[in-house]
Structure 1
């Protein structure tokens, strides 16, 4: 993924857990940097699909990918102290890039459909923190909590019968 970021004129800022924070348009100017970031995201998703096929053949666990992209002003430079200095970007626009709610909901729903109800519930809770009135997410969260305690039978296809309005 780092190579894809570099090839699209991005700079890897840091690795965070299972994520990568990358910058475009800093430390040097990149023409059409929003498009370059989007291109990198699509190429990374494509690259991951190739890797997943290989990993599946080897018996490795499946890996998912989410992408958050945001453009705007940020403070970019070397931050820290004499003991530890780090080149990075700071500010609200940096924080917004890490929150991609549509992808979060999609991932939660995919986990739900894959019967990974505990993990799906965690993501639905996270999603609902920013979308408290989303009735579909609330319904799926309740279903996840129910299915953790009462797993559906093998014929379950993800649909739910609603008996009340």
Structure 2
């Protein structure tokens, strides 16, 4: 398990995320989450953030003109 493997896996997840393929994105973010856990001292990691977003978008798809930006609706 290397940093390069983590980066490549996370990047594949991002590619699927921006193409709105939530299922495939989740698959890669779940894999990268396991690699990120090797870095101690964190309560969360980027993969966990995108897993939550994929779950949200799979139930609440973004508009057709979605630009990939996550818009916060609460503080």
Common fold by TM > 0.5: yes
Correspondence for 1:137 = 47
- Superposed CA RMSD: 1.9
Q: Which has the higher contact order (CA 8 A, sep 6+)?
A: 2
Corresponding residue number in structure 2 for 1:147: 57
Give 1 or 2: higher helix fraction.
2
1:105 aligns with 2:15: no
| Structure 2, unaligned runs of 5 or more | none
Would you identify which runs of 4 or more consecutive aligned residues in structure 1 move more than 2 Å? 132-136
Structure whose residues are more often strand by fraction: 1
Q: What residue ranges of structure 1 are gaps of 5+ in the alignment?
A: 1-95
Asked if 1 retains the 8 angstrom alpha-carbon contact of 2:14 and 2:25, the reply is yes
In the other structure, the counterpart of 2:31 is 126
Matches within 5 A, 1:4-153: 96=1, 100-132=5-37, 133=42, 135-153=45-63
The match for 1:160 among 67, 70, 75 is 70
How many residues were matched structurally?
A: 68
